[in-house]
Structure 1
Amino acid sequence: MSYNPMDTFTTYALDAGLTALPPHLPMLLTSLAFFTFVHLIVAPLVSYAFFPDTYGKMGRRVRNNWCIHVVSQAHVSLVIPLALGCLNLEALDRDRAFGWEEDKVGRLIAVSSGYLIWDTVDVIVNFVNIGFVMHSLVCLAIYLGSFKPLLAYYVAWCLPWEASTFFLNIHWFLDKTNHTGSNFQLINGLFLLVTFFVVRLVYGGMYVSYQFAHTLYQVRHQVLLAYIFIYGGGNVVLQGLNWLWFGNMIEAIRKRFSGDATDKTHTSNGIAPK
């Protein structure tokens, strides 16, 4: 009998209690392979073709950051439309704690989980600070845990937070292509701050995160204590990082348009400045 590695992954998933994951393993692994391919092959080739002077003169670390932002932009462009198509699904709305929808939500979580595995490996290998590692690990744990299934309802409602990442990536590319302090960067910076504040801090922090915590509290006696710590603690960590990064972005943008553009905003995965 020939060996099928998918059987091994399925066994691990079931042993971990992720009963909804096996049907979506092919999509998750495809997603991981796709974003890795974009990072290592597509982004360098396209960047050399369209930005030969800028990309060609970068050091290895900055080139890697450039490619990371390309991957991040690809992820945002893909998952936000998928997430919007998963809002208000009746199967999940009936049971926000344990509800599951096999087609749209399963695919959405698999795609984002593949991206988060890639992102987690990258922020560890190309370590910058513990904040990025914590963000990736918390998101990955919560998204994979959704295959239990647990709180899958909130995945679709959380992913629109990534709308701000679209403008953050553009902001970073403008820095690297000698457009720091330009009118385009000013306009994009305003969109970045407004979008980040609205989708991450107001919509995400004051509405979705509250509903998330409330649902988790309601089922606290039905899930393992470890899940309470991972989901509840992770929610607090993510919101704390959002407020920290928002302050950093305000300061970075202020410096760009006050004559001090020496403090370049870098990011590890398009989510926040470093």
Structure 2
Amino acid sequence: MLGIAHIGPFIPTILLSFLFFSFIHLVVAPWLCNRLWPLAYASKKRSAQNSWEIHIVSQVHCVVIIAAAAYSVWTESPDRALDQAFGWSDTTGYVHGIAVGYFLWDTVDAIVNYIYSGFVVHGVVCLLIYAMTFRPFAAYYGTRCLLWEISTFFLNIHWILDKTGKTGSKLQLVNGILLISSFLFFRLIYGGSVCFSFFLTLTRVWREIPLFYTIVFGTGIFTLQGLNLLWFTKMIIAMRRRFESKPDESAALLNASS
């Protein structure tokens, strides 16, 4: 129905990815949190413990998908690089298969352990878009958008530092600078350029794809960038509040980083 003709050979990758991240969530993350942060994790309610666990899963996903996406971008064939709309390679298929499995897990968790509608929207949109790249369509852009996860790596560290009594510390400030910088570059500047280039591609080939694809990809990419802008604003506000209590120390570190 979706016309994702290339997905067949990569279904095992998708299933293995979903099972892998589910295993990290249900088995590895609880064990790791109990071992590394017994007081901060074990004393919390189940809903709070789940927040710890999904950050661990997210961190594992960051390491895996950033490495895979970077490898795919750096080694892609010249033919695929020239066709930004319909280019495809098996390497891309495996990378996007991992992403689909992860976003399937992410969507299920966001619905079952509902906290915020933005998380559900993000999961559903990402799952649908990456599944639909198996047509193939826009795989060139999909792989590059996975590099947005570089900022998530620092976001998870920032969250853990918050929960372990290191709010406002030098370590959190340094990590916060890396978080803001990576979010600004990879999601807003680089991500914005990728989205703009994709929009131009979409206007060129929209007659060659089903209307459903035009609607999903067109609205999806703007939704994700809108969420990026919203979250970036919230991060700036939150960090300013956290470090207001230590203005001299924070200013010194900011000047040093500059």
Task: Check conservation: 1:92, 1:153, Cα contact below 8 A.
Answer: yes
Q: Distance in 2 between matches of 1:193 and 1:154?
A: 23
**Residue 100 of structure 1 corresponds to which residue in structure 2?**
88
**Residue 216 of structure 1 corresponds to which residue in structure 2?**
202
**Residue 11 of structure 1 corresponds to which residue in structure 2?**
none
Task: Check conservation: 2:2, 2:132, Cα contact below 8 A.
Answer: no
1:94 positional shift:
2.5
1:16 positional shift:
3.2
Amino acid at match of 1:162: E
Q: Distance in 1 between matches of 2:41 and 2:119?
A: 24
Q: Deviations over 1:14-71 (max 9, x none)?
A: x431111010000110000000000011100111122222211111111100000000
Amino acid at match of 2:29: A
Residue of 229, 232, 255 corresponding to 1:246: 232
Q: Deviations over 1:184-224 (max 9, x none)?
A: 0011111111110011000001x100111111111011111
Count of aligned residue pairs for this structure pair: 244
Task: Check conservation: 1:92, 1:152, Cα contact below 8 A.
Answer: no
Q: Distance in 1 between matches of 2:60 and 2:155?
A: 13
Residue of 174, 195, 205 corresponding to 1:187: 174
**Residue 237 of structure 1 corresponds to which residue in structure 2?**
223
Alignment of 1:87 with 2:55, yes or no, is no
Alignment of 1:62 with 2:48, yes or no, is yes
1:183 positional shift:
0.5
**Residue 121 of structure 2 corresponds to which residue in structure 1?**
134
The RMSD of aligned alpha carbons is: 1.2
Task: Provide the TM-score with structure 2 as the length reference.
Answer: 0.92
Unaligned runs of 5+ in 1: 1-14, 261-274
**Residue 17 of structure 2 corresponds to which residue in structure 1?**
31
Q: Deviations over 1:118-158 (max 9, x none)?
A: 00011111112221111111111110000011111112211
Task: Provide the TM-score with structure 1 as the length reference.
Answer: 0.87
Whichever structure has more helix as a proportion of its residues is 2
Q: Distance in 2 between matches of 1:55 and 1:91?
A: 50
1:258 positional shift:
1.0
Amino acid at match of 2:11: L
Q: Distance in 2 between matches of 1:227 and 1:128?
A: 29
Consecutive aligned runs of 4 or more in structure 1 exceeding 6 Å deviation: none
Q: Distance in 2 between matches of 1:50 and 1:163?
A: 23
Task: Check conservation: 2:3, 2:135, Cα contact below 8 A.
Answer: yes
**Residue 157 of structure 1 corresponds to which residue in structure 2?**
144
1:259 positional shift:
2.8
Q: Deviations over 1:235-271 (max 9, x none)?
A: 11111111110000001111111139xxxxxxxxxxx
**Residue 258 of structure 1 corresponds to which residue in structure 2?**
244
**Residue 97 of structure 2 corresponds to which residue in structure 1?**
110
Task: Check conservation: 1:181, 1:257, Cα contact below 8 A.
Answer: yes
Task: State the SS of the aligned residue for 2:207.
Answer: coil
**Residue 10 of structure 1 corresponds to which residue in structure 2?**
none
**Residue 145 of structure 1 corresponds to which residue in structure 2?**
132
Q: Distance in 2 between matches of 1:129 and 1:59?
A: 18
